[in-house]
Amino acid sequence: MVYKLEEKLKGIIIGSKDYKEKDKISTLFTIEKGLVNVVFKGVKSPNAKLKVAKEIFCFGEYLITNKNNYSIVIGCDMIDSFFNLSQDIDKYMEACAILCIVKDICKYGQQDVALFLELLTALKVLAYENAPKKSVIVKFLIRIFETMGYKLNLNKCAVCGNDFFGKRYFCLDTGEICCVGCKEINTIEISAESHTILRIISNTDYNKLTSLKFKFIDCFNLMKFNYKLRFNKEVQNF
């Protein structure tokens, strides 16, 4: 008798690649088990039943059968395909970069509900609202630093704890922002505007990001630098 176990996993597809002639292997970020690799059989034909369910960003309840060490998707109740993301290249690239971060920091078989909810919220804002370009990924990075115990000090000097006045400096060793009195050799000056935008994004909920009006968010580079420093990974360029 063949051992067969079916399970339902709620998740978002965060990566997908071709497998054999007609199949796909996708990385599903699930609420229940963190990352799981799943196989979609015969989904490359245009009228395949699970055609949409295999696409990146698709959020659904996946019915999976575990067979010979493979998790094969046999059904999906789709909750949201986030189809809008593919209609806007800027939003699409920002969302893809966020998926890459999730892939980098999340582990296979290890539940991370906080990160899952963070991703879901970020995708919703990107897909259905018009937040300033790069504000969602900056917010996402600030939040994951926070939840993983690397909270950035943005409101006070990271070294002396005083309020900022005058120039601000970004420390290339710690990724923190300090005042003129605390600047050391390995620091670079950053603009007050860049620092202010970072603070505003940090203090604004995802669903209010749309109300912000910034033309250019250069603090994204500070967050990219910080990500590299803290996780030793690169944020995808876009």
Choose the binding region for Zn ion from 15-23, 54-62, 136-144, 179-187 (rule: CB under 5 A): 179-187
Smaller CB distance to Zn ion: residue 58 or 179? 179
Tell me which H or E stretch contains 225.
helix 219-231
Pick one of 131, 157, 198, 222: the residue that binds Zn ion (CB under 5 A): 157
171 lies in the binding site for Zn ion (CB under 5 A): no
Q: In sequence order, what DSSP letters do the residues of 200-223 get, joined into one string?
A: HHHHS-GGGGGG---S--THHHHH
Choose the binding region for Zn ion from 25-33, 69-77, 176-184, 192-200 (rule: CB under 5 A): 176-184
180 SS3 class: helix
Candidates 108, 144, 124, 140; CA nearest to 32 is: 108
To Zn ion, the closest distance from the beta carbon of 99 in angstroms equals 37
- Cβ atoms of residues 76 and 30 within 8 Å: no
Alpha-carbon span 72 to 136, nearest angstrom: 33
Pick one of 35, 179, 198, 223: the residue that binds Zn ion (CB under 5 A): 179
93 lies in the binding site for Zn ion (CB under 5 A): no
12 lies in the binding site for Zn ion (CB under 5 A): no
Smaller CB distance to Zn ion: residue 158 or 235? 158
Smaller CB distance to Zn ion: residue 160 or 192? 160
Alpha-carbon span 201 to 133, nearest angstrom: 12
Binding residues with Zn ion: total (CB under 5 A): 7
Alpha-carbon span 74 to 71, nearest angstrom: 9
Pick one of 50, 95, 159, 222: the residue that binds Zn ion (CB under 5 A): 159
Choose the binding region for Zn ion from 56-64, 74-82, 166-174, 178-186 (rule: CB under 5 A): 178-186
182 lies in the binding site for Zn ion (CB under 5 A): yes
76: Cβ contacts below 8 Å, ≥ 6 apart: 50, 53, 58, 60, 61, 62, 63
160 lies in the binding site for Zn ion (CB under 5 A): yes
Q: Contact positions toward Zn ion, by CB under 5 A?
A: 157, 159-160, 178-179, 181-182
